[in-house]
């Protein structure tokens, strides 16, 4: 198969991110999807590492930018979604079930829980709670989508949002929006090595139709005007500072508030597509329903007006992953790649084979001890090019390390990291002095610079993944 024809589903399977839903469970003659249910991705071992590392980075990144970090329950009493209004306007997308005669819902959105947490803080700590109050969660949600619309990781029924809610004073809303845009830019550029070219990225503002406020669009004219002018002011300042254009679509807002979506045009197999990145959405519905306005005025004083903003930088982990895999042809960043190192011992059938083997094994074992995910493969020179091609086209290690006869004799390793900005591997000759693995890690340290800059450290989730090679 030509790489150009691969879809994100092929990449996700080859990288061991997910178990292929339409493959069969051995000895059962049933597909995996028959066990998980349609549209519910079963992340595999590689996918587990990816998710844990990413969520760890996201939590630390947000915490360092003033967000509180939450983790809310997967189910809720239906009362929560009755008060939020979801049972009225989102019911057909919700999974609802009964226990002891009482209705429960599987969480379709994190917002109502975040608002409960905010209210509990206001009640307990009063004015000591500082605004803007920002709360982040890598929140897994479940929503019913018709089976015909499900596709790979792109359209699923179970997904994890990089979700946050910002409760801000009206006059600070513009700064909050600019802050979110900058967070998205940092995350995509530093963690995912994406090039946010102003020629390809635009901001789409979905605004109200002013003549229908109070009918199709809920809330007061004051709320819509202030929110929309905050959005436009933010969009202008983002344009002036970073060069990203924006455009407005009147009448396209949700009934509960205006929003900005960040959209990137990408080309895929010759077809231009829109990739929706971050989103920033005002909400005039939830604060009324949970009486947030009343509580805020009681705590901070009568003239305090706030907005509640929903925002996501990636959208969902699953959907983002699906587009990213296509966009980068299956190349995940070093910190997130299931297999960070593939250590390949190239034997020749000669006297040096034992030494080659010993060095390669030592490097691999040390890497795992240092907290990396590594795989060891011992092969013979005659089969090398086939082996390398197979590994490169499937599991795609972030760094490949070769030890052959020459390397063993002269005391170095050939280290080939994949460089996202150049979209190719480079080759380095790394002298093996002292700790073998330590010199190799030192030589590729810059692959993690972006993660360390944003999260303060790079997660170390080790694994011996030799069986994947």
Binding site for Zn ion (CB under 5 A): 111, 310
- For this structure, is 161 an active site residue? yes
- Rounded CA separation 334/420 (Å): 10
- For this structure, is 163 an active site residue? yes
Catalytic option among 10, 163, 283, 326: 163
Give one DSSP letter per residue of 347-393, joined into a string: E-SSTTHHHHHHHHHHHHHHHHHTT-EEEEEEEEGGGHHHHHHHHHH
- For this structure, is 143 an active site residue? yes
Give the CA distances from residue 163 to residues 17, 140, 326, 332, 343, in Å, rounded to whole numbers and listed in that order: 22, 9, 23, 22, 37
Going by C-alpha positions, the residue among 264, 265, 225, 231 that lies closest to residue 248 is 231
Contact predicate 144/95, CB 8 Å: yes
User: In the complex, what is the shortest distance from the CB of residue 278 to Zn ion, in angstroms, rounded to a whole number?
Assistant: 13
Catalytic option among 8, 56, 161, 373: 161
User: In the complex, what is the shortest distance from the CB of residue 308 to Zn ion, in angstroms, rounded to a whole number?
Assistant: 8
User: In the complex, what is the shortest distance from the CB of residue 259 to Zn ion, in angstroms, rounded to a whole number?
Assistant: 11
Closer to Zn ion by Cβ: residue 312 or 454 = 312
User: In the complex, what is the shortest distance from the CB of residue 190 to Zn ion, in angstroms, rounded to a whole number?
Assistant: 25
User: In the complex, what is the shortest distance from the CB of residue 371 to Zn ion, in angstroms, rounded to a whole number?
Assistant: 34
Label each residue of 31-56 as H, E or C. Answer: EHHHHHCCCCCCECHHHHHHHHHHHH
For 42, counting Cβ atoms within 10 Å of its Cβ (0-12 exposed, 13-18 middle, 19+ buried), the class is middle
User: In the complex, what is the shortest distance from the CB of residue 283 to Zn ion, in angstroms, rounded to a whole number?
Assistant: 7
- For this structure, is 121 an active site residue? no
Catalytic option among 8, 111, 283, 373: 111
Closer to Zn ion by Cβ: residue 116 or 266 = 116
Contact predicate 161/141, CB 8 Å: yes
- For this structure, is 310 an active site residue? yes
User: In the complex, what is the shortest distance from the CB of residue 167 to Zn ion, in angstroms, rounded to a whole number?
Assistant: 12
Closer to Zn ion by Cβ: residue 185 or 310 = 310
Catalytic option among 143, 311, 331, 347: 143
- The three-state secondary structure class of 204 is strand
Contact predicate 393/3, CB 8 Å: yes
User: In the complex, what is the shortest distance from the CB of residue 20 to Zn ion, in angstroms, rounded to a whole number?
Assistant: 32
Catalytic option among 142, 259, 311, 319: 259
Catalytic option among 6, 114, 140, 165: 165
Closer to Zn ion by Cβ: residue 18 or 111 = 111
Closer to Zn ion by Cβ: residue 111 or 184 = 111
Q: Evaluate the omega torsion of the peptide bond into residue 228 and state whether it is cis, within 30 degrees of 0.
A: no
Please identify which residue in the block is written with the tokens 């089969």: 383
- Rounded CA separation 98/93 (Å): 17
Catalytic option among 51, 140, 310, 311: 310
Q: Look at the alpha carbons of 204, 93, 35, 158 in this order and tell me if their dihedral is positive or negative.
A: positive
Closer to Zn ion by Cβ: residue 44 or 285 = 285
Going by C-alpha positions, the residue among 37, 70, 80, 288 that lies closest to residue 161 is 70
Contact predicate 372/335, CB 8 Å: no
Closer to Zn ion by Cβ: residue 111 or 368 = 111
Give one DSSP letter per residue of 240-289, joined into a string: HHH--EEEEETT-SBTTB-EEEEEEEEEETTEEEEEEEEEEEEESSHHHH
Contact predicate 177/229, CB 8 Å: no
Closer to Zn ion by Cβ: residue 111 or 321 = 111
Q: Catalytic residue positions?
A: 111, 143, 161, 163, 165, 259, 310
């Amino acid at each position: 198969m030509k790489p150009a024809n691969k879809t994100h589903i092929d990449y996700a399977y080859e990288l061991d991110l997910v178990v292929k839903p339409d493959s069969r469970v051995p000895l059962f003659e049933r597909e995996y999807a028959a066990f998980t249910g349609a549209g519910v991705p079963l992340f595999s071992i590689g996918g587990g590492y990816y998710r844990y590392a990413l969520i760890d980075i996201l939590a630390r990144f947000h915490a360092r930018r003033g967000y509180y970090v939450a983790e809310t329950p997967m189910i809720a009493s239906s009362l929560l979604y009755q008060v939020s209004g979801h049972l009225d306007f989102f019911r057909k997308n919700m999974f609802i079930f009964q226990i002891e005669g009482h209705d429960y819902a599987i969480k379709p959105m994190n917002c109502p829980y975040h608002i409960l947490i905010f209210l509990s803080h206001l009640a307990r700590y009063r004015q000591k709670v500082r605004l803007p109050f920002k709360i982040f969660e890598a929140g897994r949600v479940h929503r019913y989508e018709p089976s015909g619309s499900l596709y790979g990781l792109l359209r699923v029924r179970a997904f994890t949002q990089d979700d946050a809610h910002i409760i801000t004073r009206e006059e600070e809303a513009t700064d909050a929006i600019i802050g979110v845009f900058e967070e998205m830019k940092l995350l995509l550029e530093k963690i995912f090595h994406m090039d946010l070219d102003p020629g390809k990225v635009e901001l789409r503002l979905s605004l109200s139709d002013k003549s229908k406020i109070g009918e199709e669009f809920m809330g007061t004219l004051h709320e819509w005007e202030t929110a929309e002018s905050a959005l436009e002011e933010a969009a202008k300042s983002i344009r002036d500072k970073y060069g990203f254009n924006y455009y407005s679509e009147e009448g396209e807002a949700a009934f509960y508030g205006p929003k900005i979506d960040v959209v990137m045009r990408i080309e895929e197999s010759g077809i231009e597509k829109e990739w929706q990145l971050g989103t920033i959405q005002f909400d005039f519905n939830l604060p009324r329903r949970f009486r947030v306005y009343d509580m805020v005025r009681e705590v901070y004083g009568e003239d305090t007006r706030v907005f509640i903003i929903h925002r996501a930088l990636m959208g969902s982990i699953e959907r983002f992953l699906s587009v990213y895999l296509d966009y980068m042809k299956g190349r995940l960043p070093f910190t997130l790649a299931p297999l960070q190192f593939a250590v390949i011992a190239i034997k020749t059938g000669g006297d040096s084979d034992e030494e080659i083997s010993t060095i390669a094994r030592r490097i691999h074992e040390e890497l795992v001890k240092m907290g990396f995910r590594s795989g060891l493969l011992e092969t013979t020179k005659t089969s090398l090019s086939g082996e390398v091609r197979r590994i490169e086209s499937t599991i795609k290690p972030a760094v490949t390390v070769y030890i052959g006869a020459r390397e063993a004799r002269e005391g170095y390793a050939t280290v080939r990291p994949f460089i996202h900005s150049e979209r190719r591997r480079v080759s380095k000759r790394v002298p093996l002095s002292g700790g073998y693995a330590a010199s190799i890690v030192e030589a590729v340290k810059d692959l993690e610079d972006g993660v360390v800059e944003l999260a303060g450290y790079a997660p170390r989730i080790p694994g011996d993944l030799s069986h994947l090679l």
